[in-house]
Amino acid sequence: MGKAERTRAFIIQKSAPLFNIKGYENTSLSDIQEVTKLTKGAIYGNFKDKNELAIASFEYNCSRVFSEIESVLAEACSAKEALLAFSNFYVKNWKNLSASGGCPILNAAVEADDSLTFLKGSVRNNMEYILGLLKSTIEKGICSLEFRSDVHAGEYASLIFSIVEGNILIAKMMNHPKYLSIMDRRIRLIIEKELLR
């Protein structure tokens, strides 16, 4: 990795948590300068504008969370265990997730939907990725005869993801992890009552 690539990666690494905590609209260039200790020229020498840096930071935030989720799912012995591990990931990592601003997809989606449309494509792509991960997990459960054959994998992936995202939002707003335990129990019930054979 050359010097320019290292500098670019450094700026993203330092800016990403800031964007997730303060928001993409509210994070200013001076905030970025403060955390990176770089000049405006050094930052804009690596990114054409704040929007480009915001997208790169969002992608970085998602990739960090996704790599942890993928690792947890890979350790699961069955589709049921993988879905439970997905839900439980948020319960176990609540403190870190909360301290870093919460779910990067949820945070960016709120801003991208209403005002920062430049983020919309990236948010959609990352949302599709996580939905695809859940859908393929459910499909594996169907193929291995663990889950019922009439289960619509895409619908359940969407349902599970929306329960997780909604409860993350409530837990953050109420500043209490009990909402993640509620989420975890509900997803377990869905798996046991609606998915398993």
Q: What is the pLDDT of residues 126-179, one digit of tens each?
A: 999 999 999 999 999 999 999 999 999 999 999 999 999 999 999 999 999 999
Q: What is the mean pLDDT of residues 90-111?
A: 93
The C-alpha torsion from 66 through 25 and 57 to 15, rounded to 10°, is -120
Q: What pLDDT does 114 receive? A: 81
The CATH number for 69's domain is: 1.10.357.10
Quote the number of domains for the chain: 1
Q: What is the pLDDT of residues 70-91, one digit of tens each?
A: 999 999 999 999 999 999 999 9
Query: Residue 23 in contact with residue 111, Cβ under 8 Å?
Result: yes
- Residue 77 CB-density burial (10 A; 0-12 exposed, 13-18 middle, 19+ buried): exposed
Domain assignment of residue 185, given as a range: 3-195
Residues 6+ apart with CB under 8 A from 196: 80, 146, 147, 148
Q: For residue 182, is pLDDT > 80?
A: yes
Q: For residue 13, is pLDDT > 90?
A: yes
Indicate the SS3 state at residue 196. strand
